[in-house]
């Protein structure tokens, strides 16, 4: 009985996370400036950032990625973990991932990585967030 309750509770928590992420309002004016680099691509520029900071919870070797979100391919990042995309190419306002990695959401529970994560992974640098911003603004190629 206890295991069933725990399973249901965990499933609900993952579902709530996925649904809440789609409702994140992106405060574009609070984001770091976009990197000046042109031609930013996922494979060359963004994946190395995500490998360093995101793969322990959202990588290809994680059996059950947190929030059902995988950060290992461009397709997975665009898809997101819930019913809404994590990134909409060319549209920061419809890309909740940028607000989550920049720590500019109203809900600190959505900060990525979480402030109290077990792996002690620190937040992305302003430069890394700026590169992700440039990638999204340039069409997320």
- Taking only the tens place, the pLDDT of each residue in 42-70 is 999 999 999 999 999 999 999 999 899 99
Average pLDDT of span 64-83: 93
Own/partner pairs, 38-45, CB within 8 angstroms, 24+ separation: 38/138, 39/138, 40/131, 40/134, 40/135, 40/138, 40/141, 41/135, 41/141, 42/73, 42/74, 42/77, 42/135, 42/140, 42/141, 43/74, 45/131, 45/135
What distance in Å separates the CA atoms of residue 25 and residue 7, rounded to the nearest whole number? 30
Q: Where are the domains of the chain?
A: 2-137
Residue 14 has pLDDT above 70, yes or no: no
For the CA atoms of 96, 10, 56, 109, the dihedral, rounded to the nearest 10 degrees, stands at 40
At residue 126, the pLDDT reads 97
Say if residues 94 and 85 touch (Cβ distance below 8 Å): yes
Q: Which residue has the higher pLDDT, 135 or 25?
A: 135
């Amino acid at each position: 009985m206890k295991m069933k309750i725990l399973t249901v509770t965990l499933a609900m928590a993952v579902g709530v996370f996925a649904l809440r992420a789609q409702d994140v309002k992106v405060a574009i004016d609070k984001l770091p400036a976009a990197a000046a680099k042109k031609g930013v691509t996922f494979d060359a520029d963004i994946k190395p950032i995500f490998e360093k900071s995101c793969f322990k919870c959202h990588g290809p070797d994680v059996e059950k990625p947190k929030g059902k979100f995988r950060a290992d391919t461009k397709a997975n990042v665009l898809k997101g973990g819930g019913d809404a995309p994590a990134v909409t190419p060319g549209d920061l306002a419809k890309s909740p991932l940028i607000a989550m990695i920049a720590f500019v959401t109203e809900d600190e529970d959505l900060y990525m990585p979480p402030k109290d994560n077990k792996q002690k992974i620190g937040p992305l640098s302003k430069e890394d967030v700026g590169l992700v911003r440039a990638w999204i603004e340039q069409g997320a190629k």
